[in-house]
Structure 1
Amino acid sequence: MTGNKAVAYIGKGSVEVQEIEYPGFVLHDGPGVNKANVGRECHHGVILRNIATNICGSDQHMVRGRTTAPEGLVLGHEITGEVVETGRDVEFVHTGDIVSVPFNIACGRCRNCKEGKTGICLNVNPDRPGSAYGYVDMGGWVGGQAEYVMVPYADWNLLKFPDRDQALAKILDLTMLSDIFPTGFHGCVSAGVTVGSTVYIAGAGPVGLAAAASAQLLGAAVVIVGDLNAERLAQARSFGCETVDVSQGDPKDQLNEILGVPEVDCGVDAVGFEARGHGRDSATEKPATVLNSLMDFTRAGGALGIPGLYVTGDPGAADEAAREGALSLRIGLGWAKSHAFTTGQCPVMRYHRKLMMAILHDKVQIAKAVNATPIPLVEAPRGYHEFDQGAARKYVLDPHGMLSRN
């Protein structure tokens, strides 16, 4: 039996690499594991040797202490790996396959899964619809920022890459299929982005940059990314985006300078519940700012895609309402402008194969867009720290040194 190193949340602002149990096909008790899931048998699963496992902004919310995540929770929901063991009931996935793992855990059997709503599977989390690896209140499935991880319902969940050598040659791009590329793409599709659209994307973190690349792939005429981090805005400009520095004031004024009108066709919120204000308020957390501003300058009849994370429990929020996820939204404005809103987890399986094909056939360079930066698993604490400080990078953990060989 081999060992298994993994990244665990150990308290506000801190993670560490720990030795944890090698995965098996039965769920054991542990930090964050739902008691109703303890003892659950997963002979439909596989064990992966992780090739790439990424640090996500959603992980940062937990590490900042902005959720109810318990100490000791093993992190990580962006997983790409090689199958090293298959469970008794697995038919179509085989040892040696290189696969992408959707961050949503889905059974493939419930009503929602059969309707393609894999982000809100009814059978994998006893508390609420929807689940993910290594995330608070998501059923307690062990996270994938590790050397090895168990993936349940493998025949349903896994996306197999068609050629091993081709996959390893493009692995930094393909590792984005587990979450941020489909999530950014979903935000754009939900916002109605199409050929000729003008698009405003709030947030130049990795999901925002992935959304910007997605908007370009969908044929947008102008893609504008707003943020207050100069390095991240420069990264957006590096692949052809216009940018708005929201610390300089109301984005509408800068939109007018770029487009000649103070509105866009489509709005995407890639910030979420830790949003700050604009202009002089940019140093202050104002969680409703992004959604309200998007309603203000998205055209009447337009749509908002909201891949940015919002939570029902935020112990670090500025007021009592926000601690329960209640924000002061100008819903009347959105109603008056007949806006459509799409929220929630991206159903990764709806998009990941198509986006895989776009990567494999050189239609998009998503790793370059998000500035994918491989680091060893043991350097995860540094990656978390630098990402939290605003580095314009998507940190990709390399548990077995396979990225450095490709």
Structure 2
Amino acid sequence: MSSNRAVAYQGPGKVEVVEIDYPTFELKDGPGVNPANVGRQLPHAAILKVVTTNICGSDQHMVRGRTTAPEGLILGHEITGEVVETGPGVEFIREGDLVSVPFNISCGRCANCKKQRTEICLNVNPDRPGSAYGYVDMGGWVGGQAEYALVPYADWNLLKFPDKDQALEKILDLTMLSDIFPTGFHGAVTAGVKPGSSVYIAGAGPVGTAAAVGSQLLGAAVVIVADMNADRLANARKFGCETIDVSEEDPREGIARILGREEVDAGVDAVGFEAKGHGRDAGEAPATVLNTLMNVTEAGGALGIPGLYVTGDPGGVDEAAQEGSLSLRLGLGWAKALSFTTGQCPVMKYNRQLMEAILHEKVHIADAVSATPISLDDAPRGYAEFDAGVAEKFVIDPHNTTGKVK
């Protein structure tokens, strides 16, 4: 049996590369595994040799100690890999296939999956609808920041790349299909971005950047990205976005400077529950982004909210925030007849189309997010630098498949 190593959360601010079991076709007990999932048989699963697995801002929430994640949890929900073994129930996926793994695990059989709501599958997490690899309260499916990973319901979940050699040439773009590119695109779609739209995107991290690229792909006339991080704002300007530094400028005033009016057609929240207030010395104020979006989006518009919000935040600014209760100006949103779309992105709704856009040179998402390959052993450094706000998307390459790991 092969060995396996993975990135584990070891307490606030600490991750380590540890030895773990090589995957088998059974979900075993471990940190974060729901007791009702222990012993679950997985004849429908595939074992992957991980080609790339990305560090996500959602992982950072756990690593900062801002969730109820247990120590020892194996991290990583953005996975691309090569199939090395399949269970007896797998019919169409074959050994040697190069595949993208949607971060949300789904069965393909329940009522929600059949409605394309794979983000709230009813059969993979005993606690609540919806699941993901390596994430708190998501059923305990082992994370993919590892040398090898297991994917259940492989025929359903895996997106096979049609040409393996072509895919390897574009792997830094295609690795973004597991989460951030569909997630950012979903934010733009649910915000109602159309040809000629103006859109305000809060957050210039990887998901906000993906939302900006997605908005451009959808035909937006003006894409405005707001953040406090000068490097990330500079990166957004490189691919044609307008920017607002909300530590220095009020969002409505910035929008007026850019558009000549104070409201946009569509708004996207790519920040989530660790939002800060606006202004140079602003502290954490988790409802800031949502309230700002209601303020700057025109009446009858829509808000796409791919930014993460949680039901348990030990580091919340008050008791309400610690259980995910925020002080929202819902009356303003109601008065303006705004629509809201929250929750995980249903990745399978978009990943095939976005794959085709990448393969046919319609979009270069890796350049936009500054994809940076690193080794598995270098993951702790990647987490620390990403947490410090560097304008890069770290791509862990456990086997140096890209040939670009230094």
- d(CA) in 2 for partners of 1:280, 1:48: 46
Number of aligned residue pairs: give it. 405
* Structure 1 residue matching 2:41: 3-state secondary structure: coil
- d(CA) in 1 for partners of 2:362, 2:388: 32
Following superposition, the deviation at residue 281 of structure 1 comes to: 4.9
Q: What is the correspondence of 1:269-288 to structure 2 with a 5 Å cutoff?
A: 269-282=269-282, 284-288=283-287
Contact 2:99 2:160 in 1 (8 A): yes
- d(CA) in 1 for partners of 2:121, 2:281: 39
* Structure 2 residue matching 1:377: 3-state secondary structure: coil
Residue 10 of structure 1 aligns with an amino acid whose one-letter code is Q
Following superposition, the deviation at residue 249 of structure 1 comes to: 3.4
1:261 maps to which residue?
A: 261
Kindly indicate whether residue 214 of structure 2 is the aligned counterpart of residue 214 of structure 1.
yes
1:290 maps to which residue?
A: 289
- d(CA) in 2 for partners of 1:280, 1:83: 49
1:362 maps to which residue?
A: 361
- d(CA) in 1 for partners of 2:234, 2:249: 18
Q: What is the correspondence of 1:170-185 to structure 2 with a 5 Å cutoff?
A: 170-185=170-185
Deviations 1:96-151 (A, max 9, x none): 00000000000000000001000000000000000000000000000000000000
Deviations 1:218-258 (A, max 9, x none): 00000000000000001100111000000013211011000
1:353 maps to which residue?
A: 352
Q: What is the correspondence of 1:1-150 to structure 2 with a 5 Å cutoff?
A: 1-150=1-150
1:376 maps to which residue?
A: 375
- d(CA) in 2 for partners of 1:354, 1:194: 17
Contact 1:77 1:144 in 2 (8 A): yes
- d(CA) in 1 for partners of 2:52, 2:402: 7
Residue 298 of structure 2 aligns with an amino acid whose one-letter code is R
TM-score by length of 1: 0.99
Residue 70 of structure 2 aligns with an amino acid whose one-letter code is P
TM-score by length of 2: 0.99
* Identity fraction in percent: 75
| Residue ranges of structure 1 left out of the alignment (5+ in a row) | none
Deviations 1:10-31 (A, max 9, x none): 0100000001000000011000
Residue 102 of structure 2 aligns with an amino acid whose one-letter code is P
- d(CA) in 1 for partners of 2:49, 2:103: 16
Kindly indicate whether residue 163 of structure 2 is the aligned counterpart of residue 163 of structure 1.
yes
- d(CA) in 1 for partners of 2:95, 2:398: 19
Residue 388 of structure 1 aligns with an amino acid whose one-letter code is D
Following superposition, the deviation at residue 60 of structure 1 comes to: 0.1
Contact 2:16 2:380 in 1 (8 A): yes
Deviations 1:331-387 (A, max 9, x none): 000000000000000000000000000000000000000000000010000000000
Contact 2:12 2:65 in 1 (8 A): yes
1:233 maps to which residue?
A: 233
* Structure 2 residue matching 1:80: 3-state secondary structure: strand
Following superposition, the deviation at residue 279 of structure 1 comes to: 1.4
User: CA-atom RMSD, angstroms?
Assistant: 0.8
* Structure 1 residue matching 2:239: 3-state secondary structure: coil
Contact 1:194 1:219 in 2 (8 A): yes
Contact 2:246 2:278 in 1 (8 A): yes
Contact 1:249 1:280 in 2 (8 A): no
Residue 131 of structure 1 aligns with an amino acid whose one-letter code is S
Following superposition, the deviation at residue 311 of structure 1 comes to: 0.2
Following superposition, the deviation at residue 404 of structure 1 comes to: 1.4
- d(CA) in 2 for partners of 1:280, 1:180: 28
1:302 maps to which residue?
A: 301
- d(CA) in 2 for partners of 1:405, 1:259: 41
Residue 372 of structure 2 aligns with an amino acid whose one-letter code is T
Following superposition, the deviation at residue 316 of structure 1 comes to: 0.3
- d(CA) in 1 for partners of 2:64, 2:185: 26
2:395 maps to which residue?
A: 396
List 4+ stretches of structure 1 deviating above 6 A. Answer: none
- d(CA) in 1 for partners of 2:280, 2:15: 33
- d(CA) in 1 for partners of 2:250, 2:291: 12
Contact 2:373 2:404 in 1 (8 A): no
* Structure 1 residue matching 2:137: 3-state secondary structure: coil
